[in-house]
Amino acid sequence: MESIRRTRIVELLQREDYGTKVNVKGWVRTKRGSKAVNFIALNDGSTIKNIQIVADVEKFDPEMIKLITTGACLSVNGEMVQSIGSGQNVEIQALEIEVLGTCPADFPMQKKGQSFEYMRQHAHMRLRTNTFGAVFRIRHNMAIAIHQFFHERGFFYFHTPIITASDCEGAGQMFQVTTKNLYDLKKDENGSIIYDDDFFGKTTSLTVSGQLEGELGATSLGQIYTFGPTFRAENSNTPRHLAEFWMIEPEVAFIDLDDLMDLEEDFIKYCVKWALDNCQDDLEFLNKMIDKGLIERLKAVVNTDFVRLTYTEAVKILEEAIAGGHKFEFPVYWGCDFASEHERYLVEEHFNKPVILTDYPKDIKAFYMKMNEDGKTVQGTDVLFPQIGEIIGGSVREENYDKLMARIEEMNIPMKDMWWYLDTRKFGTCPHGGFGLGFERLILFVTGMQNIRDVIPFPRTPKTADF
């Protein structure tokens, strides 16, 4: 076969230099046609769009033609031809075809219209489908948008550790990291495991948040963001929870609650607008195949002001809904932690747009949140989204050493390994705050997918760590 440099399909489809000889490589989506002519739709992952390969059957070895089945991998040399019937401007008249990889009939993605549940069991091959191609190209674009947003605003990308000895959220939902032999654990006289001889000489876990280290970055570099894997051993088998997910955590010195909410709103809008501007083909595909309201919803978010509401006001709205006959499964009272049905009522029924809730009761939020003067509420903010629920959680931080210590003692937070965090409040403390955005929840919103397992290539959830 003549050696011609490969062109990606996304580039080929832009070109109009008909007559040029090109090489494309990719996987067969479909093959149709007659005894005389075969039409092969080839996709190489560079775009949702396929290029049509036209093969005059008589010019090729019939044994080779038989090997061109759905899923097979081909290298095709051919001539660029103006196309009438393929839905694109250009197609390839094949001159030489090499089957790089045959694809037997037990290819798990052979049939169209398989359920997402089925595809999850074949997550390694689902990447070859149109839907997952679209989702993961958008996921890439969102990562670029995030770096771009912060870089433009003078934030520094700050790397926080994955292995840590502290539990930022204080919820005890950590995966332990150890090199100890679990079959032969040394214990002290009280039966507690001795960790002195473990790799780090103490108990360590995978991080649930980079925030505590991020605060050290912000109180020196001024404004930073993290973007990395995050691990939570919460046994939540929901379409919104993963055991391993990616979180973006900006942290900013000298910021107050209003500025923090502005940052949250600007950030999400920037990302959604980026998708609308840069992922048009994939969004149109998802809008057609997955969720007919998707693009409308994305545009609405970019063009609307988010509602800003205190927790106390939200409780009133929910109580009024109940008085008006609305039924919730879980009770509503001042001090309750909102269930997703409450959040969804506010966002999807009452306001019908994103809501930023603030000033939560201190007892349902983390120890580091700044106390309001009422002594009852803290300057925490959650951003709630239609279809998703909580997409962002953040707060202004308690920067006063004594007040922070009082909260730590009140909440029984184990501070043994946190002296370094407290030093931020001891040496030149400053007002600061930040938030965490769950990357996969953003991707859920932007793609219209329903299950968080379908927006990360290899999901980790309770009882599943395949692939």
386 lies in the binding site for ligand 4AD (CB under 6 A) = no
Smaller CB distance to Mg ion: residue 90 or 384?
384
Candidate segments 77-85, 150-158, 291-299, 432-440, binder of ligand 4AD by CB under 6 A: 432-440
Candidate segments 52-60, 296-304, 391-399, 453-461, binder of ligand 4AD by CB under 6 A: 391-399
Closest Cα to residue 281, out of 141, 119, 147?
141
Exactly one of 78, 217, 354, 438 binds ligand 4AD (CB under 6 A); that residue is 438
Provide the sign of the torsion angle of the four alpha carbons 92, 96, 102, 104, taken in this order: positive
**How far apart are alpha carbons 60 and 75 in whole angstroms?**
14
360 lies in the binding site for ligand 4AD (CB under 6 A) = no
Nearest approach, Cβ of 146 to ligand 4AD (angstroms)? Answer: 14
Exactly one of 24, 224, 242, 272 binds ligand 4AD (CB under 6 A); that residue is 242
Nearest approach, Cβ of 302 to ligand 4AD (angstroms)? Answer: 19
Query: How does DSSP assign 135-202, residue by residue?
Result: HHHHHHHHHHHHHHHHHHTTPEE----SEES--TT-S----EE--S-TTS--B-TTSPBP-TTSTTSS
Candidate segments 189-197, 199-207, 286-294, 431-439, binder of ligand 4AD by CB under 6 A: 431-439
User: How many helices and strands in the chain, by DSSP H and E?
Assistant: 14, 16
**How far apart are alpha carbons 463 and 441 in whole angstroms?**
21
**How far apart are alpha carbons 392 and 384 in whole angstroms?**
7
Smaller CB distance to Mg ion: residue 71 or 394?
394
Exactly one of 126, 362, 441, 453 binds ligand 4AD (CB under 6 A); that residue is 441
For Mg ion, the nearest residue by Cβ is 393
What interhelical angle do 294-302 and 439-447 show, nearest 10? 120
Candidate segments 1-9, 255-263, 332-340, 429-437, binder of ligand 4AD by CB under 6 A: 429-437
334-372 burial string, b = 16+ CB within 10 Å, else e? eeeebeeebbbbbbbebbebbbbbbbbbbeebbbbbbbb
- The runs of H, that is alpha helices, within 55-101 are 62-66
What x-and-dash track marks residues 369-408 binding Mg ion by CB under 5 A?
A: ------------------------x---------------
What x-and-dash track marks residues 193-222 binding ligand 4AD by CB under 6 A?
A: ----------------x-x-----------
Nearest approach, Cβ of 212 to ligand 4AD (angstroms)? Answer: 8
Smaller CB distance to Mg ion: residue 171 or 185?
171
| Whether 432 contacts 382, CB under 8 Å | no
**How far apart are alpha carbons 170 and 421 in whole angstroms?**
14
Exactly one of 54, 97, 168, 260 binds ligand 4AD (CB under 6 A); that residue is 168
| Whether 28 contacts 69, CB under 8 Å | yes
- Which residues are within 8 A (CB) of 406 and not within 5 positions of it... i.e. 6 or more apart? none
Smaller CB distance to Mg ion: residue 90 or 392?
392
Nearest approach, Cβ of 171 to ligand 4AD (angstroms)? Answer: 8
| Neighbour order of strands in the sheet with 377-385 | 156-157, 223-231, 244-253, 432-438, 389-396, 377-385, 355-361, 307-310
Residues 21-50 that bind ligand 4AD (CB under 6 A): none
Residues 298-357 that bind ligand 4AD (CB under 6 A): none
**How far apart are alpha carbons 250 and 264 in whole angstroms?**
10
Smaller CB distance to ligand 4AD: residue 27 or 439?
439
Exactly one of 44, 167, 169, 265 binds ligand 4AD (CB under 6 A); that residue is 169
Which amino acid belongs to residue 259?
D
Could you tell which of ligand 4AD, Mg ion, none binds residue 380, using a CB distance below 5 to 8 A set by kind? Answer: none
What does the block give as tokens for 33?
């046609």
Candidate segments 50-58, 151-159, 242-250, 399-407, binder of ligand 4AD by CB under 6 A: 242-250
Smaller CB distance to ligand 4AD: residue 137 or 441?
441
Taking residue 280's Cβ as centre, other Cβ atoms within 10 Å add up to 12
Smaller CB distance to ligand 4AD: residue 391 or 404?
391
**Measured distance between the N- and C-terminal CA atoms of the chain, rounded to whole angstroms:** 36
- Which backbone phi and psi does 232 adopt, to 5 degrees? -135, 125
Note the residues at the interface with ligand 4AD (CB under 6 A): 168-169, 209, 211, 232, 234, 241-242, 245, 247, 249, 390-395, 434-436, 438, 440-441
Note the residues at the interface with Mg ion (CB under 5 A): 393
